[in-house]
Amino acid sequence: MLPLLGLEYDEVLFVRPLVSREGALWYADIFKRQVPLMLMTYVGALKTWLFAPLFHIFGYRVSTVRVPTLIGAAITLLLLGELIGRIAGRRAGLIAIGLLATDAVFLTTAVFDWGPVVLQNLLLVSGLLCVVVWLGRPSRWLLFASALIFGLALWDKAIFVWNLTGMAVAAMVLQGAGIRRVLGPRDAAMLMLGLTMGAFPLVYANAAHQGQIVAETAHFSAAEIPKKAEYLALALEGGITAGAFIDWRYPIADHVPRRFVEISHWFAGRLDRQFSSGRFWLFIVSIPLGIFCATGRRRRWIVFFALSAAIAWMQIAITINAGGSFHHSVLIWPFVYAAVAIACAEVARRLGRFETVVLIVVMTCFAARGIAQINFTYSSLASFSPITSWTNADASLAGYLEQNGIHTVATPDWGIATPLMFRSRGKISVNEIAVDDFGSIESNLTASKGKSDSAIVLHTDSRQIFPNVNGVIKESLSRHNLTWHVLGEVSDSHGIPTFQVLQVE
């Protein structure tokens, strides 16, 4: 899957500070150097810091962006297996790994990390593992490590507060008295120290800008809960992944001769676009059954994970401008699969000598259906042109502009800027025009007048993301008596015209 899609705007947002001096929202002066702290009001520069040495070693390639995130997801799987294994035994850990590894939503958000979510899941599971180890071998340093990891997750993306709140509330509901009894003042101090140190860039930026992060993200409404609940159910089924990337209007024209792809197409042809994994009902049935069958500590863990997921999701559901994609839903996947894995193991334990056979049959069935969904997504990516935001014409666009000696471009439509900055390694200066800011439009259009090294890059009319953005730009050109010509069009790998390059005369 890695090379089939182009780079998406948010997927490479973290690269901006590495290729542009104005790539981050907030910087800090450290040893007389401007160090990026926050990319957006709620997205930190942790991923920028982690990937900077990788780009230095391996270069600015698609594989340098996507292979590390896929490795991070694989590590998350192993850590989740270890976490569940320590709680409910090796069999439960293997169930968690098997189900999550064959979840189409988890895999696609790992390959195409546009949330971004891979670091969020990795840090969540790592922090939880430290907590579980601490429960068996109390150590203030383990508490500190877990809090530090959760703090880093908050810095990476402030919406980690959803999961953090979910865990805190669930823990207090289930073991409030026990927590207060076990955690002394020094333990609490270590927790606060670790959390503050990990989230320090977020705390610093928020304090320095009068609480702007909280002010811009803390907007709530219950109006979208039904719609988001329906979307969560679809995400649990996993059959929505291909539709997030594919423009079904543009099938590939040429036959793909590679044997592997032909086999993939054949299997995918046996399914329809609404093929379900059946996992929604697995989750709905297994968790209550698990709570009924389990006892003591394991029952409390099932409830803890299920309650943490529910509380976190409710915050997603009521937060305005969040929860509208499955890259939001997958943030609670570690909780969901942890609860299901322990529950399945506990239900199977009641089956006596049929335990192993039933587990193998059930897990094989759900894993096979998950793999079928993943294969359908792969086949669709190979058979259809990507939607505009994932177009693989981005590399051709950068090459076309460099070939024509264009070093400065203005981009009024969403989705063009950061992929172009990445593809050109910052050699092309990109100005994003706000389509509702006519002053910005006019200044950028006037500045590019008569310059052979300057251009305006639009999506073609059929592939616009913002409605009628092309009409707004061309109307503004006419209003200021500016003439323009189409320098050229750039198509994606399926031959679909995607970008239009204009020059103002």
Closest listed residue to residue 422, CA positions, set 410, 430, 431, 434:
430
- Contacts for 463 with CB less than 8 Å, ≥ 6 apart: 388, 391, 496, 497, 498
Tokens of 12: 């490479």
pLDDT surpassing 70 at residue 481: yes
Q: Which of 362, 385, 408 is the last residue of a domain?
A: 385
Place of tokens 């998950």: 370
**278 and 201 in one domain?**
yes
Averaged over 406-414, what is the pLDDT? 91
Q: Which of 365, 385, 405 is the last residue of a domain?
A: 385
Averaged over 3-30, what is the pLDDT? 89
pLDDT surpassing 70 at residue 67: yes
Long-range residue pairs from 438-441, CB within 8 A, at least 24 positions apart, any chain: 438/476, 441/412, 441/472, 441/473, 441/476
Between residues 109 and 493, the one the model is more confident about: 109
CA separation for the pair 334, 309 (Å, rounded) = 9
Between residues 365 and 215, the one the model is more confident about: 365
Q: Is the dihedral of CA 355, 365, 227, 391 positive or negative?
A: positive
Domain assignment present for residue 431? The answer is: yes
pLDDT surpassing 90 at residue 139: no
The CATH code of the domain that includes 428 is: 3.40.50
In tens, the pLDDT along 455-477 reads 999 999 999 999 888 888 888 88
Q: Which of 350, 385, 420 is the last residue of a domain?
A: 385
**342 and 324 in one domain?**
yes
**405 and 337 in one domain?**
no
**427 and 481 in one domain?**
yes
Tokens of 286: 């297994």
Q: How sure is the predictor about 433, in pLDDT bands with cuts at 50, 70 and 90?
A: confident
**312 and 239 in one domain?**
yes
Extended beta strands in 228-332, E state: 246-251
Contact 132, 87 (CB under 8 A): yes
**290 and 401 in one domain?**
no
CA separation for the pair 396, 260 (Å, rounded) = 26
CA separation for the pair 265, 252 (Å, rounded) = 12
Place of tokens 């594919």: 246
Domain assignment present for residue 51? The answer is: yes
Considering the entire predicted model, what is its pTM? 0.92
The secondary structure of residue 436, as a DSSP letter, is T
DSSP-based three-state secondary structure for 469: helix
Closest listed residue to residue 107, CA positions, set 342, 333, 352, 418:
333
Task: Write out the DSSP string of 131-159.
Answer: HHHHHHS--HHHHHHHHHHHHHHHHHBTT
- Amino acid at position 19, single letter: V
Strands 429-432 and 33-38: unpaired
Domain assignment present for residue 436? The answer is: yes
Place of tokens 């990990």: 198
Distance from chain centroid for Cα 422 = 18
pLDDT surpassing 80 at residue 268: no
Domain assignment present for residue 1? The answer is: no
pLDDT given at position 257: 55
Averaged over 433-448, what is the pLDDT? 68
Averaged over 21-46, what is the pLDDT? 86
Q: How sure is the predictor about 352, in pLDDT bands with cuts at 50, 70 and 90?
A: confident
CA separation for the pair 331, 319 (Å, rounded) = 15
Q: How sure is the predictor about 17, in pLDDT bands with cuts at 50, 70 and 90?
A: very high
DSSP-based three-state secondary structure for 345: helix
314-340 burial: b if 16+ Cβ within 10 Å, else e: bbbbbbeebbeebbbbbbbbbbbbbbb
Domain assignment present for residue 113? The answer is: yes
**395 and 377 in one domain?**
no
Extended beta strands in 67-142, E state: none
Domain assignment present for residue 411? The answer is: yes
Between residues 404 and 240, the one the model is more confident about: 404
Domain count, the chain: 2
CA separation for the pair 237, 316 (Å, rounded) = 19
**326 and 223 in one domain?**
yes
Domain assignment present for residue 5? The answer is: no
pLDDT given at position 82: 97
Extended beta strands in 67-173, E state: none
CA separation for the pair 347, 394 (Å, rounded) = 50
pLDDT given at position 152: 97
**199 and 178 in one domain?**
yes
CB atoms within 10 A of CB 352: 7
**325 and 462 in one domain?**
no
Between residues 181 and 139, the one the model is more confident about: 139
Domain assignment present for residue 65? The answer is: yes
**183 and 240 in one domain?**
yes
Contact 100, 80 (CB under 8 A): yes
Domain range for 220 is 10-385
CB atoms within 10 A of CB 469: 19
**253 and 399 in one domain?**
no
CA separation for the pair 398, 406 (Å, rounded) = 10
The greatest distance separating any two alpha carbons of the chain, rounded to the nearest whole angstrom, comes to 84
CA separation for the pair 75, 49 (Å, rounded) = 19
Strands 408-411 and 384-386: unpaired
Pick from 65-69, 192-196, 492-496: least confident = 492-496
